[in-house]
Structure 1
């Protein structure tokens, strides 16, 4: 499958990545820096105008590009970014968000260390089945309700972000946006399941053990002042029809990776495969079915609204457009303007897996892990069959860095901020941007250092 940023057949000959200057990457990096900085320094401005800011960055690339290479070439890049990458990406994310948002878990829960650890473990498993966003939105409210009578809750939310909103999504393309982008670019559906299982298991087990020890410490302190504090479970699930719809989402993504009818539609140089068109159309039907079939009480219980997915939709439209020249330059390798990056992650032309792991991870921490994954995927050659075989260790390093280290900051992965906002809406005083980084620096970075030493 063609990669994001690759030009259409009609225009590929006119644009050589080696001839593009690094300045063509300014709109992309400006877009990512806007996502990172504006919510911190101008939150109100960002909240009301993030769509306009995203549009400005997209135009900052498209207009000069059209002037330099012609309107037809710019249109080809735009069509390719939208039809082959953005629409499949946002349709899957929206369907998972809608289906998960229709499942409401409520009842009599009391947050003991065993119950909390069990919910975190359940969310970690579910994240690869229904996405980190879906699993986080499904379980964060029940977890907070279970712990509403406890004084020490911040650590529960922090570890929830570590595990459910990030690490748990590493075993399938459904789990985290970076891996779905890899799937769209030809990586097999179960490739990450087999190649990231052991790293994911190590990180998850260590984090769950650390959480259980810490939560037990706080639990015992609170038991002395609240002797009636007990852990019980009495759960009712509303909107259960969405479990069937979730299975339909999984089946449709699997179908698009298995069924190859060799029917291709050419839309202005962009090749759309029939199986992908069918998948995306069916996912829209699943989304609509969830809206129709879900009891109103389930979405009300989850305080469901469209704001998070609307923000993701607008921001990623600009990201997929502005990343096009960056990918083209990176594919030029040492002949391109980003040759310095190539040298930093390779040793005499051979990929340095540990460098890929940390470079992808550090950028995923402060930018967004989906476009960061795409950058390094293409830097490593961008050819999925090669990366899955002879380059398997490099692709595993890129995938692990993008998914795991999205947990290092609030802005590393979309669900992180969602979980923080929900916790704060329930009166929990979450740590600020740098306070959260203190948690991740103490807990995650040493664990990732061990992970890198063992596997990459």
Structure 2
């Protein structure tokens, strides 16, 4: 990339980073599912969950009822719901009651969340698959299969960003292409990340708490493999039928004609993706015992080092990617900004919800918590799968995983031993059922945004849930009977 291009692009990145930082400082989203600064969930009533319900309904109904307003003001709506919790809670309980958990969430969760997603989004956006593939059923099946395998290697976000644009270009002339993106979210953005801590944030949190790196690879292979094979087979059957009805796709010129043989541009970004993987692994395996006390919160050296490496990798991608490659790749900052704004509102309104969940049998969600334990105190793995999965569909799946991880005892040695089935149920529920809604996992929203910006008319919030209810819920019921019954 030429010096002029770099000098014009890097200030944009700086502004984006400043925007994310200011957004965090304003709304201070909370992901922390444990810690010394948590709220007392046992004393909270269900009324404090209303802002969270409100933002979910806004995301669901806003694009349907007021699409123009939503497109221009969704960030303000998210901020309004965040303030709807923060202002009355601070007024009633006092600022000291809410400031510590917000500070912990800011330093432990949201800043690392934004940095990791931003780095993967930036680096993966610099990988260009050249040569326009023809979106036949076999080609689409191959692209989905490759993306699904990549998800456990470079994460669901990284795999989604690398594979979504080639898949869109391959199918841009088809009359029926929505199902391709929906199955992509199912497989690449969610279930494909089931086999390593790199794959999905919940598994990474388990790794940080002592679960072996390859434990999920060995213990979830059957469940993940079954779900992936069923979905790929179902996709191929649906895509083949719709492809045969797409006569125009075979008869008209491709909107994006071939640009030569299939190849890769921006290969340096593949190396930078490995840097991201290495940085994440470093934070989980290196324990120097050094921490900085910031705003009443201990920030460990290994996590700070990870975040610095991720920022440097993202900046290196902007510097080293050949000039014009991102433009050819259709790269835009809009999807990551949309995710940052909406998830900021979600994370701040989720604070009391997570606190009530952490209170377990003493909190407002006690009936739900009671479902996962039998009368004799033994865990009910099927209910762990569904309870974790149901909440992961609407809450962020990382803190939901931690809630049930701790509810099951939180001892990694025992969870990997005689309670292995319970840990598999928790892990599968968090990762698999993040695919049930657009907000279940961050890549879902980014893929939706990229597809819409490419002219694909994606389903609404409830429309997507109709797809997941019709396809995923029966699959998860069968999975329950086979593996958790």
TM-score band, normalised by shorter chain: 0.7 to 0.9
1:209 to 226, 233, 252: 233
Cα offset, 1:372, TM superposition? 4.3
Which runs of structure 2 are paired with 1:188-337 in the superposition (5 Å)? 188-219=212-243, 226=250, 234-337=261-364
Q: Does 1:449 align with 2:449?
A: no
Residue pair 2:205, 2:398 contacting (<8 A) in 1 also: yes
Which runs of structure 2 are paired with 1:94-109 in the superposition (5 Å)? 94-109=118-133
Pair 1:413–1:37, CA change in 2 (3 A)? farther
1:87 to 93, 106, 111: 111
Residue pair 1:89, 1:177 contacting (<8 A) in 2 also: no
Pair 1:16–1:116, CA change in 2 (3 A)? closer
1:419 to 432, 437, 447: 447
Structure 1 match to 2:27? none
Structure 2 match to 1:397? 425
1:141 to 165, 178, 182: 165
SS at match of 1:303: coil
Pair 1:182–1:22, CA change in 2 (3 A)? farther
Cα offset, 1:162, TM superposition? 1.9
SS at match of 2:261: strand
TM-score (norm 2): 0.81
RMSD of equivalent CA atoms: 3.3
Cα offset, 1:342, TM superposition? 1.4
Cα offset, 1:78, TM superposition? 1.3
Which runs of structure 2 are paired with 1:302-381 in the superposition (5 Å)? 302-348=329-375, 349-366=377-394, 368-370=396-398, 372-377=400-405, 379-380=407-408
2:47 to 20, 23, 26: 23
| 2-structure distance, mates of 1:169, 1:228 | 37
| 2-structure distance, mates of 1:455, 1:226 | 43
| 1-structure distance, mates of 2:216, 2:71 | 35
| 2-structure distance, mates of 1:356, 1:226 | 47
| 2-structure distance, mates of 1:68, 1:151 | 55
| 2-structure distance, mates of 1:265, 1:29 | 36
Pair 1:365–1:329, CA change in 2 (3 A)? closer
Pair 1:309–1:181, CA change in 2 (3 A)? farther
| 2-structure distance, mates of 1:28, 1:437 | 18
| 1-structure distance, mates of 2:245, 2:482 | 37
Residue pair 1:4, 1:85 contacting (<8 A) in 2 also: yes
| 2-structure distance, mates of 1:165, 1:156 | 13
Pair 1:187–1:276, CA change in 2 (3 A)? farther
Query: How many residues are matched?
Result: 450
Cα deviations across residues 52-108 of structure 1 (Å, max 9, x unaligned)?
A: 333333333334444444433422111111111111222111111111111111214
SS at match of 1:350: coil
| 2-structure distance, mates of 1:45, 1:120 | 34
Pair 1:414–1:89, CA change in 2 (3 A)? closer
| Range moving further from structure 2, 298-307 or 155-164 | 155-164
Cα deviations across residues 203-224 of structure 1 (Å, max 9, x unaligned)?
A: 1112222223343445556689
| 1-structure distance, mates of 2:75, 2:218 | 38
Cα offset, 1:201, TM superposition? 0.9
| 1-structure distance, mates of 2:456, 2:50 | 38
| Structure 1 residue ranges without an equivalent (≥5) | none
SS at match of 1:109: coil
Cα offset, 1:380, TM superposition? 4.3
Residue pair 2:205, 2:402 contacting (<8 A) in 1 also: yes
SS at match of 2:289: coil
| 1-structure distance, mates of 2:246, 2:351 | 54
TM-score (norm 1): 0.86
Pair 1:282–1:338, CA change in 2 (3 A)? same
| 2-structure distance, mates of 1:308, 1:62 | 26
Cα offset, 1:429, TM superposition? 4.8
Pair 1:322–1:157, CA change in 2 (3 A)? closer
Pair 1:259–1:63, CA change in 2 (3 A)? same
| 2-structure distance, mates of 1:39, 1:186 | 42
Cα offset, 1:414, TM superposition? 3.6
Structure 1 match to 2:11? none
| 2-structure distance, mates of 1:384, 1:325 | 27
Cα offset, 1:452, TM superposition? 1.2
Residue pair 2:198, 2:204 contacting (<8 A) in 1 also: yes
Structure 2 match to 1:75? 99
Cα offset, 1:327, TM superposition? 3.0
Which runs of structure 2 are paired with 1:126-137 in the superposition (5 Å)? 126-137=150-161
Q: Does 1:61 align with 2:114?
A: no
| 1-structure distance, mates of 2:310, 2:111 | 11
